[in-house]
């Protein structure tokens, strides 16, 4: 009897984790193995991959030394600048801010990160361009200042784009700091500076290390910021990879390039887990100087977004010169058939990938609770990799794996097909959904898993004692408790997929998503129509974020009951 019950339990567990395991294997593990194989191959005469075993591609790495040096110099520098700005903000939010307004202030930090990075980076092209800050400087006699397409512009974009990601882990460490330790230090006669360096900073180091490692890892694969603000003059590894795979079509060299960058990622990620301390909250206000600094940071985060929205109502054709108020560009954008098609593609892809991620991620989270500690640790590692690995790497790995599969499957279908026109598998909706679903599923699984871990086993065991079947217990007890987390994960996954550019850029094939359309429009020439599109994207992202926020608050309210 017991053996039969264990067998049934194991089958249920396997069924729950099987979809996620298959997705992780096909679109994460196997693509990275394929990348390793490609790294030792040769470039085919027509481009792509040719079977071989050679180290020539690694010997050619010095030809891309500029991209390596720019990345290895500017990525850590950008992470350090993020830390310098982020720590005072996180300290103020966690220790000095009025608890009544803390949630609002934290939300204002997070919101820009969940809006379109493409749109936010594009806004800085205004500010740093010839009609922006350089024009203002020329009015006071400072001529010939070039800010756009420089390393400084890239660093500014890095700080702007990744500042919220640096603030949050530091805030978590500081927010849970035990205030009694600070009071004890003051009672023993320690000055505020000594207390900070002797107590506060050491206890917040896990959060600092997490933020620095996470930002640095993501910057190693950054593409948009150097492409838009560096103007092709400041290349990162991500830009070199795009050039090798999509322009030069030297896949073996690109695989070796990416493999080297992944080693850099591993070095940066050592020791980034954050320990958290339970503590009380400080209710004192901050100094005027700190408040002024915090206000300037919020202005820094929101001024570019406000500028894009303002110029979306511009009456003239010049996107950087406001000549009057008009909504004509919104009508023009919505009547653009190419734009509407791109919007439809993004909505279809985002909804499908988010729905699949919600189902498979929830199943995986439920199944992981039944796994052994080793298997659970393996899934945790794979999900963490799917979240942390830069998008450019995911895009390349998915492209390589799918092309390898298509090169085998399509000839087989052609040989077996009875007619003259056999179907052909190719890049499109399916490839984008699969690549987006990898990150989205991992995100949903981690959110739902955290919620399941917070549920007490008592209520589930009580349901079993009352002879409820496992399915009834799940439907009436577990599902209502985790549903807000599932919905929040779905909305965050939808937002990510709708806003993603770099992954879709690799695997979209002939399909055009809205971010790809916006990126192409920026490169062709900027008009207020782009501002209108960007504003619509921002509004859609904010609505999704606010909905997810409401659901998360509902989840916390119910968990506190």
What's the pLDDT band for 45 if we cut at 50, 70, 90? Answer: low
What's the pLDDT band for 17 if we cut at 50, 70, 90? Answer: very high
For the cut 60, the answer to whether the pLDDT of residue 282 exceeds it is: no
Query: Which residues 6+ apart lie within 8 Å of 475 measured at CB?
Result: none
Predicted pLDDT at 358: 94
Q: Which fold has domain 1-34+328-561?
A: MetI-like fold (1.10.3720)
Predicted pLDDT at 180: 78
- Overall average pLDDT of the 60-88 stretch: 83
Query: Which residues 6+ apart lie within 8 Å of 356 measured at CB?
Result: 433, 437, 440, 441
- DSSP alpha helices (H): ranges in 25-175? 30-39, 56-59, 65-91, 99-113, 117-128, 133-139, 151-175
Instruction: Give the pLDDT confidence of 394-441 residue by residue, as tens digits.
Output: 888 888 778 878 888 888 888 888 877 888 888 889 999 999 999 899
Mean pLDDT check: name the lowest of 273-277, 337-341, 366-370, 523-527: 273-277
Give the dihedral of Cα atoms 425, 429, 434, 435; nearest 10 deg: 110
Most confident of 62-66, 110-114, 486-490: 486-490
- Overall average pLDDT of the 466-482 stretch: 75
Instruction: Give the pLDDT confidence of 353-383 residue by residue, as tens digits.
Output: 999 999 999 999 988 888 888 998 999 999 9
What's the pLDDT band for 156 if we cut at 50, 70, 90? Answer: very high
Q: Report domain extents, the chain.
A: 1-34+328-561, 69-239+280-311
For the cut 80, the answer to whether the pLDDT of residue 47 exceeds it is: no
Pick the residue with more confidence: 528 or 57? 528
State the DSSP H helix or E strand holding residue 42, giving kind and residue range, or none if neither: strand 42-43
What's the pLDDT band for 256 if we cut at 50, 70, 90? Answer: very low
Pick the residue with more confidence: 524 or 82? 82
CA-CA distance, 384 to 395, in Å (whole number)?
A: 17
What percent of the chain is helix, strand and coil (3-state, nearest 5)? 75, 0, 20
What percent of the chain is modeled with pLDDT above 70?
A: 80
Mapped onto helix, strand or coil, the DSSP state of residue 94 is helix
CA-CA distance, 220 to 72, in Å (whole number)?
A: 8
Out of 1.10.3720.10, 1.10.10.350, 3.90.230.10, 3.30.70.990, select the CATH number for domain 69-239+280-311.
1.10.3720.10
Backbone angles phi, psi at 422, to 5 degrees: -70, 150
For the cut 80, the answer to whether the pLDDT of residue 267 exceeds it is: no
The reply to whether domains 1-34+328-561 and 69-239+280-311 share a CATH topology is: yes
């Amino acid at each position: 009897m017991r053996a039969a019950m264990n067998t049934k339990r194991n089958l249920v567990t396997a069924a729950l984790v099987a979809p996620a395991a298959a997705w992780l294997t096909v679109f994460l593990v196997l693509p990275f193995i394929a990348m390793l194989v490609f790294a030792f191959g040769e470039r085919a005469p027509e481009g792509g991959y040719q079977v071989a075993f050679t180290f020539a591609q690694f010997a050619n790495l010095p030809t891309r030394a500029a991209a390596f040096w720019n990345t290895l110099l500017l990525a850590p520098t950008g992470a350090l600048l993020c830390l310098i700005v982020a720590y005072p903000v996180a300290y103020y939010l966690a220790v000095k801010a009025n608890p009544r307004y803390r949630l609002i202030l934290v939300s204002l930090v997070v919101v820009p990160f969940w809006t379109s990075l493409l749109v936010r980076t594009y806004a800085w092209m205004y500010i740093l361009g010839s009609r922006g800050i350089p024009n203002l400087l020329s009015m006071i006699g400072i001529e010939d200042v070039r800010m756009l397409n420089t390393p400084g512009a890239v660093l500014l974009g890095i700080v702007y784009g990744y500042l919220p990601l640096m603030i949050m882990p530091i805030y978590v460490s500081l927010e849970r700091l035990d205030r009694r330790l600070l009071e004890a230090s003051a009672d023993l006669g320690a000055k505020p500076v000594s207390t900070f360096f002797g107590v506060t900073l050491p206890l917040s180091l896990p959060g600092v290390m997490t933020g620095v490692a996470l930002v640095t890892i993501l910057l190693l694969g950054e593409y948009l910021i150097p492409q838009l603000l560096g103007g092709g003059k400041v290349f990162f590894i991500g830009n070199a990879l795009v050039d090798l795979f999509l322009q030069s079509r030297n896949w073996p060299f690109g695989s070796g390039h990416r493999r080297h960058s992944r080693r850099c990622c591993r070095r940066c990620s050592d020791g980034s887990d954050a320990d958290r301390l339970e503590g009380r909250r400080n209710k004192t206000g901050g100094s005027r100087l700190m408040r002024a600094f915090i206000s300037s940071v919020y202005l820094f985060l929101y001024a570019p977004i406000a500028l894009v929205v303002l110029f979306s109502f511009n009456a003239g054709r010049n996107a950087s010169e406001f000549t009057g108020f008009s909504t004509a560009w919104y009508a023009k954008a919505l009547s653009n058939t190419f734009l509407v098609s791109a919007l439809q593609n993004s909505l279809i892809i985002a909804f499908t990938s988010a729905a699949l991620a919600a189902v498979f991620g929830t199943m995986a989270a439920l199944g992981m609770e039944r796994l052994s500690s080793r298997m659970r640790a393996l899934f945790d590692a794979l999900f963490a990799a799917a979240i942390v690995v830069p998008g450019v790497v995911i895009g390349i790995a998915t492209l390589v794996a799918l092309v390898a599969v298509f090169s085998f499957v399509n000839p087989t279908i052609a040989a077996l097909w009875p007619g003259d026109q056999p179907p052909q598998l190719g890049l499109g909706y399916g490839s984008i959904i699969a690549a987006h679903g990898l990150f989205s599923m991992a995100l949903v699984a981690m959110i739902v898993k955290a919620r399941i871990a917070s549920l007490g086993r008592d209520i589930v065991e009580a349901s079993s004692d009352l002879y409820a079947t496992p399915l009834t217990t799940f439907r009436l007890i577990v599902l209502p408790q985790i549903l807000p987390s599932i919905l929040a994960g779905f909305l965050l996954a939808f937002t990510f997929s709708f806003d993603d550019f770099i992954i879709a850029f690799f695997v979209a094939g002939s399909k055009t998503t809205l971010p790809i359309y916006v990126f192409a429009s920026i490169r062709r020439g900027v008009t207020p129509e782009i501002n209108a599109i960007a504003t619509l994207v921002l509004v859609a992202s904010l609505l999704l974020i606010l909905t997810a926020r409401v659901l998360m608050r509902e989840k916390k309210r119910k968990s506190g009951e």
